[in-house]
Each structure stands twice: as C-alpha cells, then as structure tokens.
Amino acid sequence: MAEVLVILAPGAEEIEAITIPDVLVRAKQRVVIASTTGAPVVLGSRGLPLAAHCLLDQVLERTFDLIYLPGGLGSATTCRDDVRIQDLAERQLHAGRTLALICAAPIALVPRKLCTGRNVTSNPGMRAQVEPYAKAWINQPVVIDGPLITSQAAGTALALALVLARLVAGEAVATQIAADIIAPT
C-alpha cells in the first residue's frame, strides 16, 4: 500500500483536488490530504469547500511514496511560493519518489528548477512559465518522465488518476477501477 500526500491549498481546482485522491482510495492506497493553511477546510477555485485530514505542518517530516499537487491558479501559486512545499517536492524527486502535478501546478517546479532535463506538460496557459525550465513541454494529457508526472488540466484529472493508480496498485486494479466507474482506459 502506497502512502500518498495530497497538498490542498486555497484556490485548488475542485475536480483536480478530489478526483485523484478518490481514485487512489478506490485503489486501496493510504491517502492523506493536508491543508497548507491553519484550517482543515479551504475554498476551491469555484468557491466550494474542500476538506483536509490534517494540516501540512503535521506531515512535513513524513515520507510519502507519492506527492500530488492539484492545480488551480491560487493553489499553484501557493505551491510555487511556499518553501515547505518546495522542500517536499525537491526531496521527493531527489529520492526518486513520485511527484505528480496537474494544470497550473507545474509552475511549482520552476523556483528550484525541478523540471530541468525533464519532459513536462501543464495547462497550456502555464506553458510559457514552465517550458523554459524543462527539456520539453509536451502537448499530451499526461506526461511521465521518471518520478515526475504532469497533466494538463481539470479535463485530464481522471486520466492522471488512473495513471497514478496503475503506478501504485498495478494494471489490474486500475483497469477494474476504470470499469467500475465506466471510464476509458
């Protein structure tokens, strides 16, 4: 069973913040959602309340098999500017453990040049911010480059979730989840 951390910041895109942990829980993985604020509930990009299990400060010293950063411009900006998240992302990639980001969140790779030499994707609106630091920006729903996995936007959240389920739980589990929720694989 993989240990998964979902970092929840104000302004997170609701579909991206919920779809990935939902599918990973269906895949029987241990998912911890941690709020970047001092409160367990933040408002998403559409004003919907999103709840966390704990505060980010409570899990900073833990090791996770997978760390996931949802997009949404507010969330992505927090992930880019918060030194705690930068430290986690850098530690995750340098250890060869999976770091997944979607939509605007790949801008969080820029401050410490964590996408240098790697293929990435992002929301096309963030391409100009991410591409100069990457090996290449790829126009695909999900791009895997070693332990770094990036995805384009809310509409690719399910594809990303199934890729991550396949990674942590195996092909059979991911295929069964897709069948159960009637999703293309």
Angle at alpha carbon of residue 155, lines to 3 and 87, rounded to 5°: 40
Q: What's the mean pLDDT in 70-94?
A: 98
Asked if the model's pLDDT at residue 183 lies above 90, the reply is no
54 is catalytic: no
185 is a domain residue: no
The answer to whether 164 and 23 have CB atoms below 8 angstroms apart is yes
Which domain range does residue 172 map to?
A: 3-180
Helix (H) or strand (E) holding 129: helix 127-130
Distance CA 66, CA 147 (A): 9
Q: How far apart are the first and last CA of the chain?
A: 22
Domain presence at residue 100 = yes
d(CA 161, CA 164): 5
- In this prediction, residue 184 has a pLDDT band, given cuts at 50, 70 and 90, of confident
Total domains in the fold of the chain: 1
Catalytic residue from among 54, 79, 103, 115: 103
Res 55: pLDDT: 98
Over residues 110-150, the pLDDT tens digits come to: 999 999 999 999 999 999 999 999 999 999 999 999 999 99
Is 79 inside a domain boundary?
A: yes
Whole-angstrom Cα distance, residue 154 to residue 123? 9
* 33 domain residue, yes or no: yes
Q: Tell me whether residue 108 is in a domain.
A: yes
Tell me whether residue 38 is in a domain.
yes
Contact 26, 177 (CB under 8 A): yes
Nearest to 86 by CA among 55, 124, 121, 60: 60
CATH code for the domain in which residue 161 is found? 3.40.50.880
